[in-house]
Amino acid sequence: MDRYDPVESHPRSSKSFIYLVIISQIFGLLAVILTAVWLGKYWGGFSWTNANTVFNYHPLFMVLGLVFLYGDAILVYRVFRSFRKLPIKILHAVLHILAFLFGVLGTKAVFDMHNALLIPNLYSLHSWLGITAIIVFGLQWVAGLIGFLVPQTPQVARSKLLPIHVTLGSFLYLLVIGVCISGITEKNFFSKTYPVLKAGELIGNLLGVVLVIFCGLIFYLTQNPNYRRTETISPEHRALQE
């Protein structure tokens, strides 16, 4: 990716920005590792062929896809804010489609478990909001592809779509974290020793805290005006980049 506006031109904000990005990545990876340990060690491990453990792919893929990759897909616009836009848009779209695929696989895992054990589907608030989030995420991805990556889309339509795309995307991300919190709550309620906090339930709670911190860092890095893309180049130059 060609740079047109080096990060060094924002010395005021670049140092804190880099530290916060690194910390966010540590918390993002920690969330994925905690989820794997939680389900792998305390809830029976992972298997697509075992009706009792196929569920465990559900939280793992959701945290990997709809939390970690989704968060980083948002973050690329800040991390590469001084690079050309088109490659970043493609990276944003690729990370989002990966997030969506993990989300679909994660959804399949919970339906597989419910169907195998004859548990009704879609009864909980967690499932209602989760399935809505996945569907809206998919629609938002298609709208983003047509709106921002199809060259024929007129500029006026892009300008109208952009604030909706950004606001809906950010809100959906925060909603996903809320859905995760309720999912962890459900899983802990299924524990036989709860409300006594043994290692399994404690890791569940800690995972929730880590998810909130990761999401909070992504939100701060996205919202802080100092970390935004600065459009200082001429419109002609920008037209060439897009």
Contacting positions for its own copies (CB under 8 A): 119-120, 123-126, 128-129, 163, 166-167, 170-171, 174-175, 177-179, 181-182, 184-186, 188-189, 194-197, 201, 204-205, 208-209, 212, 216, 219-220, 223-226
Q: 69 or 176: whose CB is closer to its own copies? A: 176
Q: 19 or 220: whose CB is closer to its own copies? A: 220
Dist CA 204 CA 197 (whole Å): 10
Q: 47 or 121: whose CB is closer to its own copies? A: 121
Tokens of 53: 């453990």
Q: 47 or 159: whose CB is closer to its own copies? A: 159
3-state secondary structure of 29: helix
Helices 155-189 and 70-79 cross at an angle (nearest 10°) of 140
* Shortest distance, position 191 Cβ to its own copies, whole Å: 11
Dist CA 51 CA 65 (whole Å): 22
* Shortest distance, position 240 Cβ to its own copies, whole Å: 26
* Shortest distance, position 175 Cβ to its own copies, whole Å: 6
Q: Which residues pair with 36 in a beta bridge?
A: none
* Shortest distance, position 180 Cβ to its own copies, whole Å: 8
Q: 91 or 204: whose CB is closer to its own copies? A: 204
> Nearest 10 degrees: CA dihedral of 196, 202, 208, 209?
110
* Shortest distance, position 209 Cβ to its own copies, whole Å: 7
* Shortest distance, position 28 Cβ to its own copies, whole Å: 17
CA dihedral for 35, 38, 43, 45, sign (positive or negative): positive
Q: 91 or 187: whose CB is closer to its own copies? A: 187
Helices 199-223 and 11-42 cross at an angle (nearest 10°) of 160
Angle at 211 between CA 209 and CA 217, to 5 degrees: 105
The burial of 191, by beta-carbon neighbours within 10 Å (0-12 exposed, 13-18 middle, 19 or more buried), is given as middle
**Residue type, position 103, single letter:** G
